[in-house]
Structure 1
Amino acid sequence: MSGQAPRQPVAPKVSIVLVSYGGRTMLNRCLRLVAEHTRVPHEVIVVDSGSEDGTDRWVGDHLRGGRGHVLGRNVGFGAGSNFGALDARAPYLCFLNADVEVGPYWLEPLVDTLDREERVAAVAPVLRGEDGEVQEFGSVVGADGWCRAWGDGAPLGADDTLFAHDVDYASAACLLVRRRTFNQVAGFATEYDTAYFEDVDLAFALRAAGFAVRVDPRSEVMHQRHGSSGSDTARELMELNHSTFLRRWGAGLAGRPALPARDKLPHRFYAARDVLVDERILVVDDRVPNADRGSGDPRTQRLLESLIAPNRRVTFLARDWQRATEYAPALLAKGVEVVWRHDNPFQVLRERAGLYDVVIVMRPHNWQWIAEAVEQNQPQAVLVYDSESLFHRRCEQFAAEETNPRRRAELEREAVRQRKVEEDAFRWSHVGVCVTEEEAEWARRIAPDSEILVAGYPVEVPALVPGVEGRAGLAFFGGFMGGAGSPNELAVLELADGVLPDLVAAHPDLRLSIVGADPTKAVRALASDRIEIVGRVPNPGWWLAKYRVQVVPMRFGAGVKLKFLDSMAAGLPFVTTPVGAEGLRLGALAKHLVAQSPVEFVERVGALLSDDALWTDVQQELLTIAGTWFSHRAFDGEVDEILAACGVAPQR
């Protein structure tokens, strides 16, 4: 039906306000798409600002399901929007241009942001043009008062530029604002002529009142640039209203950098973009964290989340693009800038020269890759090396068990090389980070001038953990991203060949499930009536809560192994080797959970399979250890210690 707007709810969550000036066809299309794609309870208010093409009569006579107001003259976008806001009933106002086309799930993310973050007064989506390229994702305001759209011209799919963050201003072509706060700052300033700069002014007023303006990459709309007014008229209005903006806010712009062309002086553009934050932290690792695939990635994910704070820019630089498009969106939505589309680290850090207060490099091979670029382009930064584990120890373990003399000599040389790299990385750093106190003691000896701290692996213990009833079978949980010959593959093969047969002899119905991403060919070949290859699972905690015991006879590895912390959090007792138990703070529990031979594995696992009371006691002790030493709260405290050592004040 012509002029169709959705039926008005009794208690709307959002009041959608459109100001029209001509363009009846465009307005009708916009309203139709709003009705089709908006599931949030809302009302629609249309204010016609003196249209001369019959749109005013159409709004007054044909608008269905919304409330229309016809003004006798063109009062401009700001005054017209203020008029519509006076008629609003909802706690949130959504100012929407008629030249915007909304799609599925356009409004929910914006509402979610205001629901969760009280400090945010306004939030905007990604504005894309008809060709799919980004028009704007918030804007940067320079010392001269002119604005530069962030992401302008970025092609469809270049999502590494689009992360949730506070901005100087976001376009009111589509802007969700708290009605209470909008009224508190007296709405849009009415000093501006017709259109342009009212939304910039509003953002500055909201910030002066102590609030933030944010952009959210989870929401996207299509915007026809200057669809409501011709481009020549738009330029004239911009020039006129720019002068008004300078009169109102020019004094506060003096300390801002000028905005050069981004392709000529990009480091100044990034500095201008980040003018709203006090601290800038860069984290470097192998890839965008594949948090459900192990290999240290869950810890990296949690580190990034722990670093997020209102006045802090957190940037993650991935060495390669492995599964980036799959895993980056969650971090982008949380406010982490994720950079993975790059040719080399020198280019990235050169474009951001002098930007970062702290640079955190994770793992030795990444330190080798990036250290020189950091030294040349971020000389002001506090340098942090996070080892994740001591890689040379694993190589030493392989060498110690190798029977072929030539291969052993190769492994010993590689262990020496890796150790040298790790020693150099710790000595390079101002602050070094290890995952266990044992590894930290080694680092303190070889790098006495660096401050060495510990930050382990965090896990979340659910409020309700199933007990022994209903649990059955054995589990091996761990990812196989390391491929053939990795510690996890070797541990699974040892379990299947050296431990499981004797356990089955005592427990004929026993079954083993191998849970974890990227199982290798050798692991997949173990599949049988007795051994199930589950592979990657989206919710490891749910799976681990099914089993009676996890068994991991691993001979190689360093640092804390996340599989055991996940096992603790799921209330799943495990049996492993001294290598596997490193850093787990087991204390007296070690006599039940640590084995050094196949015979001991069979004894320890057999006891947990047959003795419900012992199993329950062990489970409760493991849950206590997880909650005390490896909780998110404990990890956040360790991250705060690292930041304090870097001269960055914690914000929790």
Structure 2
Amino acid sequence: MNMILSDGATESGSRWDHIDLAWVMQSYPETREFFVQGDTIAFADLLLLAGRCGYSPNPYFDEIYYVRRYPDVRQAIADGTYVSGFDHYRSAGYRDRNPHWLFSEEYYLAGNPDVGKSLANDGVFRNGYDHYLRCGDGEFRSGSWFFDPLEYIKSTTGEAARAPFSHYLTHPSGYSNSPYFDTDWFIRAYPDVLEEVRHGDWKSILHQYLGTRNEGRYDPSRFFSERFYVESNPDLSDAIASGRFISGYEHFLLYGIHERRRPSPDIDLERFYHHPYVQKLLLNGRVPDVFVAWCRSEGEIPDVEAALEDKEKMTKLAFEKKSAALAITVARRKLDFSSALPDISVILVLHNNFDMTMNALTALRASHAGGIDLILADSGSHDETRRIGHYIDGANIQRFDGNVGFVRACNVAAGHAKAPFLLFLNNDAEVQPGSIAAAIERLRRDPKVGVVGGKLIRTNGLLQEAGSIIYRDGSVDGYMRGRSPDVPEANFVRRVDFCSGACLFTRTELFRQLGGFDEAYIPAYYEETDYCVRVWKSGQEVIYDPAVTAIHYEYGTSDLASGAGYINRNRLIFNSRHRDFLTYKLVKSKLGLNGARSPARSGARRILFIEDRIPLKCYGSGFSRSHDIVETLASMGHDVTVFPIFKPDVSINQLYAAFPENVEIIWDRELGELESFLHQRAGLYDVIWICRTQNVRRLVPVIERTAHFMPHAMLIADTEAVSAIREEQHDRLLGLPEDQFPTLAERLRAEFECLLIATKIVAVSPHDATVLTEHGFAGVSVLGHVQTPRRTSRPWAERSGLLFVGAMHDYNSPNYDSVAWLVTTLWPMLENMLPGDATLTIAGYLGPGVSFSALPRSPRVSYIGEVEDLTPLYDSARFFIAPTRYAASIPYKLYEAAAYGLPIVASDILCRQTGWKVGDEILEARAGDAEDFGRVVVDSYDNQVLWNALRDKALVKIMNEDDQKSYVVKINKILNHEDEKSYL
């Protein structure tokens, strides 16, 4: 008798799709007699037996759980449509149902986007569960919030490491180590459950909780109330009753956490989520979600900056210990600074403090692989520093009999410099890797830059400064002192009044031309302030670059008390020398800090750019255009701050890598903090550019409450798209009766009302500008997309297939609708009409939880999702297809495809938006009309003459209207409030 049976009706390899007789007999001893006596056991009979007796066919499918969870399955069994839950799951349920209490299909696909892509493309796996059992389990992926494979392995023998989940199912234990379920608390709260487990009613405490329909009787921990959650979200009742969710907690785990709904009356996840410390935990992956962050901390958020301030004495002691250890290391192995052609001359002034000096030199040597001309100015040391030559090769050591002070020692040392650039470095500072290369690159690239300074971080991990400010009375401030080094304000390149001499880069020739540091400031303090002002007066700039970083043991070469005396003396000298400069500086003010942080540049505007999200190009949906606007504004020399309505959910590094270095990205705040943000930056911004009409509507109350902080700021309402048009198209697509939704005129009136607050209105296309003008708005500017023509080289004969590119943020997005219609309606028809080598490729960003897994599979359809470089796709396809059925703007990807030289077949909706000439620059088909789309694609697919003509004319269109120079001109007109022609 075979121990594993299958009826062969399904694809082989699915580990859940069989009946394991050995396992059944072991799990249900009463079946042994039946199986032994039976001559032949038919697969259908076993299915029937499972349905009648509630037997599971194998460890991977739980019959009782499945039937209990899904009422429609119970009804189908009662009606005779299926003989068991397993029968239903094999036939239909595998697509979207959960076969076991410890596996969630939706959770697995959302957490493993590659699986959804695999399901859509290769057809090897029947569903996510099939992939999990055959691959994911052995790769230590998790199929449930309640099962962590690595945690499980800790509690078992070595064999569990091959497939932890399978091992758990076949070797049941009481394991339930999960941040989402508190077993100890559960036992205390529900002691009867433990007795049920001991009695054999359940395999474990967790099995009891997950295997029963909850109905408000059990909570998973003290941080979640089932009854409260269901009562607070009445829309869940029907979904739970239908089996869509087995409990309110399952909905919370799938959606409520992301939406930050309250899990219990006294837990406010929304407020907790917004704290920067929590954001950092989430973005660094230290916690899986905000609910786990709450549970682990019980809602308590440490004041990190206050704690670090309190510990600075201890961190300085640690710094001293590390320095002492490094000093011993170099006693046995010299540091080598020998160089024939140095990149930079580095000057350190020394006065005792040997251990710190060796720490500084060790960090310096490790920070830069290139040649360093090291000049050590020993200002009367009497410790081991006198013998420093025994520990270093290649250094130029200048000795003074007494302590001549920092200023004079630097000036003498600079006279010996061999390299074109100088670095003045304190011997109590650790310059960080990459800093020297970054400063040199900036000085080489931009001849206007005379000084480069960087981010100084104290030993406690907090900022000493991110550039420094000079006020009208000559007093100075280190910008962002005491703040975390990762704050947005400290992480963009900007012009500054001066930078600290603890780590200061300049041009050797410029330093000599200006006479070096003014010796009136001997021994130290204000000399670098004075030097930077003289650099400004010479016509060159002082730049703060966060890529230049050093750890600084503050006051390591002098004590604070003596330093204060020199500061007070030298400030008076500084004021007498630079009264002309100070006249134009701001008066010191707490609220004026941000206004004073950067000297104004002639002709430059300070612009606050507000978008739904920090606009990464990969997001599509208008974010590509927003990114291009920000990038262009920055390239024009404007000071741009990007502020999101919603905090980003991607790595901060990804954001910084995507934008120019001189753009300030406010990644740690969102809409709720905008009012206080504008208050802190009162009077700073010349322009506030709000992208998307819905954001203008959101901001009207904020603007009304803060208008007195920015009375002269230009307010630009960038509509990006007219949403009312898309909404009406969508309602018609759904087939709703016209009397059940507002007219287009009513929608437009409601959408545009908020725009009355704007100084200037911007539309994405002439079509949208016409709509706005018809509703009473004069002088609407048009700002579309910017593209650089980059015609791909592959000839027509070597290309094949169709390409679709578009972002799919959720299942209701126009692009997802386009893809679904394309692969279910249009492509099956085109497959029979196009050559056999013609394929369909679908690419683009997928929002969280969005998967291709529900779409039809075909060997000629490739679902590839997001890719960093689309060039190979544009170079291999023959046509770009855009069958959009409802839309509110022009897809960026149409312009991108044209710029790559790929001809386009688009719906009439998009063609109207572009204004391109149909038949010459683009091909048009009726939206939602498969026959018309099929005709256009088939008629043009093998027409090389048409293909070349479309390609060339679209490229000319891009060159003439959408190149970078034209974009700059258009933005200048907007900022200068020059009315463009009205579209009547």
Q: Compute the TM-score of the two structures, normalised by the length of structure 2.
A: 0.62
Partner in structure 2 of residue 88 of structure 1: 417
Partner in structure 2 of residue 50 of structure 1: 380
Question: Alpha carbons of 1:51 and 1:559: their partners in 2 closer, same or farther (altered >3 Å)?
Answer: same
Contact 2:616/2:655 (8 A) holds in 1? no
Amino acid aligned to 1:320: F
* Whole-angstrom CA distance in 2 between matches of 1:470 and 1:230: 74
**1:198-217 equivalent positions in 2, closer than 5 A:** 198-217=527-546
Partner in structure 2 of residue 270 of structure 1: 594
* Whole-angstrom CA distance in 2 between matches of 1:183 and 1:122: 13
Cα deviation digits, residues 575-632 of structure 1 (max 9, x gap): 1111122343432535861111322322332344323333223222222222221112
* Whole-angstrom CA distance in 1 between matches of 2:471 and 2:436: 30
Question: Alpha carbons of 1:557 and 1:29: their partners in 2 closer, same or farther (altered >3 Å)?
Answer: same
Unaligned runs of 5+ in 2: 1-329, 980-984
Amino acid aligned to 2:365: A
Q: Answer with 224-233 or 423-432: which moved more.
A: 423-432
Counterpart of 1:111 in 2: which secondary structure? helix
Counterpart of 2:352 in 1: which secondary structure? coil
Contact 1:12/1:89 (8 A) holds in 2? yes
Counterpart of 1:582 in 2: which secondary structure? helix
Selected match of 2:511 from 175, 178, 182: 182
Question: Alpha carbons of 1:427 and 1:465: their partners in 2 closer, same or farther (altered >3 Å)?
Answer: farther
Contact 1:5/1:34 (8 A) holds in 2? no
- 1:311 Cα deviation from its structure 2 partner: 6.6
Contact 1:94/1:176 (8 A) holds in 2? yes
Amino acid aligned to 1:498: T
User: Is 1:308 aligned with 2:634?
Assistant: yes
User: Is 1:623 aligned with 2:955?
Assistant: yes
Counterpart of 1:114 in 2: which secondary structure? helix
Counterpart of 1:118 in 2: which secondary structure? coil
Counterpart of 1:317 in 2: which secondary structure? strand
Aligned residues: 636
User: Is 1:18 aligned with 2:18?
Assistant: no
User: Is 1:393 aligned with 2:725?
Assistant: yes
Cα deviation digits, residues 413-467 of structure 1 (max 9, x gap): 7x6675234322333222111111121122223244x431111111222376443
State which structure, 1 or 2, has the greater radius of gyration over its C-alpha atoms. Answer: 2
Selected match of 2:891 from 561, 566, 569: 561
* Whole-angstrom CA distance in 2 between matches of 1:463 and 1:15: 46
Task: Give me the CA root mean square deviation.
Answer: 2.4
Cα deviation digits, residues 113-164 of structure 1 (max 9, x gap): 2232222111122111122211111011111111111111112432344221
**1:463-542 equivalent positions in 2, closer than 5 A:** 465-468=793-796, 470-481=798-809, 483-506=810-833, 507-518=835-846, 521=850, 523-526=852-855, 527-542=857-872
Question: Alpha carbons of 1:220 and 1:591: their partners in 2 closer, same or farther (altered >3 Å)?
Answer: closer
Selected match of 2:784 from 456, 462, 466: 456
Selected match of 1:584 from 914, 918, 927: 914
- 1:642 Cα deviation from its structure 2 partner: 0.7
Question: Alpha carbons of 1:311 and 1:551: their partners in 2 closer, same or farther (altered >3 Å)?
Answer: closer
Selected match of 2:644 from 315, 318, 324: 318
Partner in structure 2 of residue 328 of structure 1: 655
* Whole-angstrom CA distance in 1 between matches of 2:902 and 2:524: 63
Amino acid aligned to 1:300: S
- 1:38 Cα deviation from its structure 2 partner: 0.8
Selected match of 2:930 from 598, 606, 610: 598
Selected match of 1:283 from 606, 609, 612: 609
Identity of aligned residues (%): 25
- 1:530 Cα deviation from its structure 2 partner: 2.3
Question: Alpha carbons of 1:373 and 1:471: their partners in 2 closer, same or farther (altered >3 Å)?
Answer: same
Q: Answer with 462-471 or 383-392: which moved more.
A: 462-471
Contact 1:560/1:582 (8 A) holds in 2? no
User: Is 1:137 aligned with 2:466?
Assistant: yes
Partner in structure 2 of residue 650 of structure 1: none
Contact 1:4/1:28 (8 A) holds in 2? no
Question: Alpha carbons of 1:312 and 1:488: their partners in 2 closer, same or farther (altered >3 Å)?
Answer: closer
Query: Greater strand share, 1 or 2?
Result: 1
Partner in structure 1 of residue 493 of structure 2: 164
* Whole-angstrom CA distance in 2 between matches of 1:22 and 1:411: 81
* Whole-angstrom CA distance in 1 between matches of 2:739 and 2:463: 55
Q: Answer with 180-189 or 273-282: which moved more.
A: 273-282
Selected match of 1:636 from 959, 968, 973: 968
Counterpart of 2:619 in 1: which secondary structure? coil
* Whole-angstrom CA distance in 1 between matches of 2:601 and 2:364: 35
Partner in structure 2 of residue 245 of structure 1: 574
Amino acid aligned to 1:446: H
Q: Answer with 120-129 or 463-472: which moved more.
A: 463-472
* Whole-angstrom CA distance in 2 between matches of 1:52 and 1:539: 60
* Whole-angstrom CA distance in 2 between matches of 1:378 and 1:111: 38
Unaligned runs of 5+ in 1: 648-652
Amino acid aligned to 1:159: P
Question: Alpha carbons of 1:11 and 1:463: their partners in 2 closer, same or farther (altered >3 Å)?
Answer: farther
- 1:206 Cα deviation from its structure 2 partner: 0.5
- 1:646 Cα deviation from its structure 2 partner: 7.1
Counterpart of 1:525 in 2: which secondary structure? coil
Question: Alpha carbons of 1:237 and 1:310: their partners in 2 closer, same or farther (altered >3 Å)?
Answer: farther
Selected match of 2:742 from 393, 412, 416: 412
Contact 2:889/2:913 (8 A) holds in 1? yes
Q: Answer with 19-28 or 231-240: which moved more.
A: 231-240
* Whole-angstrom CA distance in 1 between matches of 2:740 and 2:419: 71
Contact 2:715/2:759 (8 A) holds in 1? yes
* Whole-angstrom CA distance in 2 between matches of 1:258 and 1:439: 46
Selected match of 2:392 from 33, 54, 63: 63
Q: Answer with 162-171 or 342-351: which moved more.
A: 342-351
Cα deviation digits, residues 209-246 of structure 1 (max 9, x gap): 01111111223221111112222222222122212211
Cα deviation digits, residues 370-419 of structure 1 (max 9, x gap): 233234332221221111111111011112333233xx656437x66752
* Whole-angstrom CA distance in 1 between matches of 2:405 and 2:625: 52
**1:345-360 equivalent positions in 2, closer than 5 A:** 345-360=674-689
**1:66-77 equivalent positions in 2, closer than 5 A:** 66-77=395-406
Partner in structure 2 of residue 441 of structure 1: 770
Contact 1:364/1:421 (8 A) holds in 2? no
- 1:290 Cα deviation from its structure 2 partner: 1.5
Counterpart of 2:808 in 1: which secondary structure? coil
Counterpart of 2:472 in 1: which secondary structure? coil
User: Is 1:338 aligned with 2:665?
Assistant: yes
Contact 1:218/1:333 (8 A) holds in 2? no
Counterpart of 1:292 in 2: which secondary structure? helix
User: Is 1:235 aligned with 2:567?
Assistant: no
Amino acid aligned to 2:610: V
Amino acid aligned to 1:218: A
* Whole-angstrom CA distance in 2 between matches of 1:273 and 1:327: 26
Counterpart of 1:554 in 2: which secondary structure? coil
Question: Alpha carbons of 1:588 and 1:446: their partners in 2 closer, same or farther (altered >3 Å)?
Answer: closer
* Whole-angstrom CA distance in 1 between matches of 2:697 and 2:345: 54
Question: Alpha carbons of 1:588 and 1:524: their partners in 2 closer, same or farther (altered >3 Å)?
Answer: same
Amino acid aligned to 2:885: R
Counterpart of 1:426 in 2: which secondary structure? helix
Contact 1:359/1:381 (8 A) holds in 2? yes
Question: Alpha carbons of 1:97 and 1:333: their partners in 2 closer, same or farther (altered >3 Å)?
Answer: farther
Contact 2:763/2:769 (8 A) holds in 1? yes
Amino acid aligned to 2:828: P
Cα deviation digits, residues 356-379 of structure 1 (max 9, x gap): 222111111211222332343322
User: Is 1:547 aligned with 2:909?
Assistant: no
Q: Answer with 237-246 or 389-398: which moved more.
A: 237-246
Counterpart of 1:444 in 2: which secondary structure? helix
